[in-house]
Amino acid sequence: MSTKDIREISLLELESFLLEIKEPKFRAKQIWQWLWEKKARDFDSMQNIPKKLRDQLKQAFTFRVTQIDQAQYSKDGTIKVIFKLWDDNRVEGVLIPTKKRTTACISSQVGCSLSCTFCATGYLPRTRNLKAFEIFDQVVLINQLSEEHCQKSLDNIVYMGMGEPLLNYKEVIQSVNHITSPTGLGMSPSRITISTAGITKMIKKLADDGLRTNLALSLHAATNAKRSEIMPINDTNPLEDLSEAMNYWFDKTNIRPTLEYTVINGVNDTKEAEKALAVFARSFPSKINLIEYNPISTANFQPTGRLDEFAMALEKQRLIVNVRRSRGKDIDAACGQLALKTA
């Protein structure tokens, strides 16, 4: 049997395969609908596909299904999921319900290669990139949890789980296409946010490719010296280059990017840090999310005691500021805590 998942091939490749085995071309769209709109996880569920053709598909392809290995439930309603992939690797995803919306936080890589010092995932090695269908499966499974526990479908998807999405560009973009396509999940791109630690070249490519998703930059410090100290990626993608890339993004898309800034005691919460952040945020149209720091066992950082004061200082300078309170801290599901830690 081929080790290729049928969801790794394009519609054109599927049509070519069917022609080779002398099956009518129209079957390709039927099969495609089962894969992406009806979210099939095996060939036998494709009820309007003849059994002979289903058997031929089984011989040529496989389904590498993603499964929920473990789910942990926070007292605030957040659900953290450890997904088991077909090769026994594992990644995490989170369902974050609020009164207004439900959000899925999903992963793009097994582990991460960027080694941000305040993030638990940064202490894990990057094992491999996820395939588009593995990212898609996370969304499908978290949506099922949302429907079961919140009685509603997902409102938003954020690529903010394990890994750097723009270092797995092709598969991430392909997953977005399946999630937003009318022949897929049909979700609006405006309800999807791709987060990046700041890969300038790929930010520009994302703008050029015209996906129309939202973009979040994990900033966390607004001077090169401090940012390089806590985020080694800044050595090769400094703030000057990031500012240029974010201006390029806005000029191309007219979508205001978000600056994610985790406020850490004694690291990036000083009045000087406020001023530096204000200067950087004004270098292109932006909005700021200030994030409550969530301690991890692998780093000796602590939350700031002046989160609200920090926010007020920025608001006085007429910047758009939101304070994001942590959810799921009791199950290590909050921002920066994903490290495959089980209950």
**Residues with a known catalytic role:** 92, 335
Query: CB of 223 within 8 A of CB of 229?
Result: no
In angstroms, the CA 25 to CA 29 distance is 8
| Bridge partners, 222 (sequence order) | none
In angstroms, the CA 255 to CA 277 distance is 20
Task: Quickly tell me which residue has 């998703």 as its tokens.
Answer: 213
Nearest by Cα to 185 from 131, 253, 137: 137
Nearest by Cα to 71 from 131, 146, 127, 173: 146
Interhelix angle for 169-180 vs 200-209, to 10°? 30
Identify how many contiguous H helices and E strands the chain contains and give both numbers: 10, 12
The DSSP line for 77-111 is S-EEEEEEPTTS-EEEEEEEE-SS-EEEE--SEES
Query: CB of 241 within 8 A of CB of 280?
Result: no
What does the block give as tokens for 183?
A: 């022949």
CB contact set of 283 (below 8 Å; sequence gap of 6+): 243, 246, 247
